[in-house]
Amino acid sequence: MELVGYAAAAATPYNLLLALAGVTAGVVLGALPGISSTFAVAVLLPTTFTMEPVSALIFLGAVYTGSTYGGAYSAILVNTPGTPQNIATTFDGYPMARRGDGNLAITLACLASVVGGLVGAVALWAVAPPLARVALAFGPIEYFWLAVLGLTMIASLSEGNLLKGGISGCLGLALSLVGVSVVSGDTRFAFDSPALVGGINLVPAVIGLLCIPVLIDLVAVPQPHLKREGSVGGYRLREALRICRKSWGTLTRGSLIGTGIGVLPAAGGSIASLVAYSETRRASSRPEAFGTGEPEGVLSSESANNATVGGGLIPTFVLGIPGTPADAVILGALLIHGVRTGPSLFTERAPLIYTFIFGLLIATLLMLPVGLLMGRYAYGAIVSISKTFLVPLVAFFTIIGSYAIHNDVNDVVVMLVLGVFGWLIARVGIPAAPMVLGLLLGPIAEQGFGQGVIIGTATGSVWAQFFGRPIALAIIALIVVTLFAPYVLRRYTRRLAA
């Protein structure tokens, strides 16, 4: 059994150390708002130049998966996703923290991340080539409809007031239009400012919209930031495991959605976790609880985003096309180490790939003790720290996080302006989350739309393009169900009760 050989190769002391170091570094970096997984992997890439290809891959993979989980810390504790993949974790993670269940949320995030990561890695091992082929069937039209599906989430994030949520979503879409249009080349809404020509970057915008309003309200009152409800301290592991066992369907759904969307080139953990969250809410027996601190919200988001680590590596290895933004860097690492991608990778260089997959599995498993330990300290620190330390520290990260990605003060300005704006609109009841959604999904929707129109015009029928493709139709059906099922169900149950 060569498998044993591969596992042994992955478990050498050196590789084990790299897996551990990678996961730890990843968790720390991912927790810092503004340091995305892509940034973390890119910044640590030079350290791998002297390593063997397998070791380099294991290290980078560990960093990737660790950072995807680490971002949950700031998402849960200060409503700021540490990486874009954790946006959906803020929806229920932060409310949980506000009511004193922050440690539970962190533990749930850890368990979900491990489960999702394992599912993604197993998919990579077992069904990579066929899944990659399916991914190729997703064209611009399918991406368009997928983005629309994501946008329908605005309805569920609007807490009862669809109009205001819709306005927020439109604002986000409008922001995403600033800059040079990919499909038409127009420079839009830039008002002759070179800073705006590059568009509004997602990370500073998200930090501004989600974190600054929290800080603004933090300084206004003397009460501590997060309650220490009762004396339920520690990891609350047993409680978390109980919840996981009860919600195994959510975990499965999240992991599968994460793997599936991760396989689609250029669709990453952010979209996967949003779609998984949306689907979990739709299938739940108490959808109203989502957004108020429902544990399944955290489970769905965190399992999906870690599943994209393994899932995203599928097109990366099989096709040579990155499945998620961070995979572009990993692909670079492969090429620099002289590893040619393609289906032959699984046959000619089987030792490399399978040893790496074992390494990724090990790193994901290591995330359990590392994540729980670090989570406990992170939670303990944030809960007990006095505001005079917490506020400046978090503010420091909002500024540095916005600045560091592209070395641009304009990003800091964007963060501040949107931050104040986010607080102001919250005062009139407009939620900020739909705006984040619009900003994230707007470009994907518009590019898919534009490309679809061009292709449709060329092939003779735009309608056939948008409504004549099987996968697209399936997504459209899902959109319809997501939008109208709640109402239909309500009317049906009302009729039954009558």
Q: How many Å apart are CA 351 and CA 52, to the nearest integer? A: 13
Q: Binding to other proteins by residue 227, rule CB under 8 A?
A: no
The token pair that represents 251 in the structure block: 């975990």
**Chain-centroid distance, C-alpha 120:** 14
Minimum CB separation of residue 182 from other proteins in Å reads: 5
CA atoms within 13 A on the CB side of 270: 25
Residues 292, 296, 299, 303, CA torsion sign: negative
CA distance 415 to 403: 9
Please identify which residue in 82, 258, 293, 442 interacts with other proteins, judged by CB under 8 A.
Answer: 442
- Identify residues 154-173 at the interface with other proteins (CB under 8 A): 159-161, 163-164, 166-167, 170-171, 173
Q: Which stretch binds other proteins (CB under 8 A): 76-84, 119-127, 178-186, 372-380?
A: 178-186
- Binding of other proteins at residue 496 (CB under 8 A)? no
Q: Which residues contact 115 (CB under 8 A, 6 or more apart)?
A: 244, 251, 255, 303, 306
Stretch that binds other proteins, among 53-61, 90-98, 216-224, 276-284 (CB under 8 A): 216-224
Of 265, 333, 297, 404, the residue nearest 59 (C-alpha): 333
Which of 64, 73, 91, 138: binder of other proteins (CB under 8 A)?
138
Q: Which of these ranges, 51-59, 234-242, 364-372, 442-450, lies near other proteins under the rule CB under 8 A?
A: 442-450
> Of 12, 181, 252, 292, which lies in the binding site for other proteins, with binding defined by CB under 8 A?
181
CB 115 within 8 A of CB 264: no
| Closest separation in Å from C-beta 251 to other proteins | 29
Tell me the closest approach of the beta carbon of residue 274 to other proteins, in angstroms. 19
Residue among 429 and 486 whose Cβ is closer to other proteins: 429
CB of 164 to other proteins, least distance (A): 7
d(CA 332, CA 375): 31
Q: What is the DSSP string of 181-242?
A: -TTT--EES-TT-HHHHT---HHHHHHHHHHHHHHHHHTT--S-SS---TT--S--HHHHHH
Interface with other proteins, residue 45, by CB under 8 A: yes
Q: Does 194 bind other proteins (CB under 8 A)?
A: yes
Residue 258 interacts with other proteins (CB under 8 A): yes or no: no
**Residue 327 touching other proteins (CB under 8 A):** yes
Site for other proteins in 75-134 (CB under 8 A): none
Using CB under 8 A as the binding rule, whether residue 268 contacts other proteins is answered as no
